[in-house]
Amino acid sequence: MFTSRLLLRRQPASLRIPHPSGIPRRSRNVRSPPGTTSSTSVATRSAQKLTVDEICAELQITRSTFYDWRQKGRGPRCIRLPNGALRIRRSDFENWLTDCEDRP
């Protein structure tokens, strides 16, 4: 099949569609100066997200047990990521453990 060379050329800058934010892509990923912290890079213990493997290791259970609890509605609250993976907030996990304790 014949492909025109014109289709393979890049568009001139005047014809390119600008980014919605108006900021060129290269300038969006600017690092903060050393010694300063970004609010997105600081992770607190309550905002920490755990994987299913980390939960299973901490509870010393198998993955199948975790998913069985989840199916029966007995597991901790989970966040489903776009790729299908699960994450559990540390605070939700701690609250769930507290709720599981035997009351005297």
Q: What is the pLDDT along the chain (104 residues), one digit of tens a residue?
A: 555 555 555 556 566 666 566 655 554 555 555 665 555 544 454 579 999 999 999 999 999 999 999 999 999 999 999 999 999 999 999 999 999 887 66
pLDDT on residue 45: 47
pLDDT on residue 104: 62
The Cα–Cα gap between 54 and 89 comes to: 12
Question: For residue 55, which of 72, 77, 38 has the smallest C-alpha distance?
Answer: 77
pLDDT on residue 101: 87
Which region, left, alpha or beta, applies to residue 46 given φ > 0 means left and ψ of -120 to 50 means alpha?
alpha
88 close to 50: Cβ distance less than 8 angstroms: yes
pLDDT on residue 10: 59
DSSP alpha helix (H) spans, the chain? 5-8, 25-28, 52-59, 63-71, 90-100
The Cα–Cα gap between 40 and 60 comes to: 32
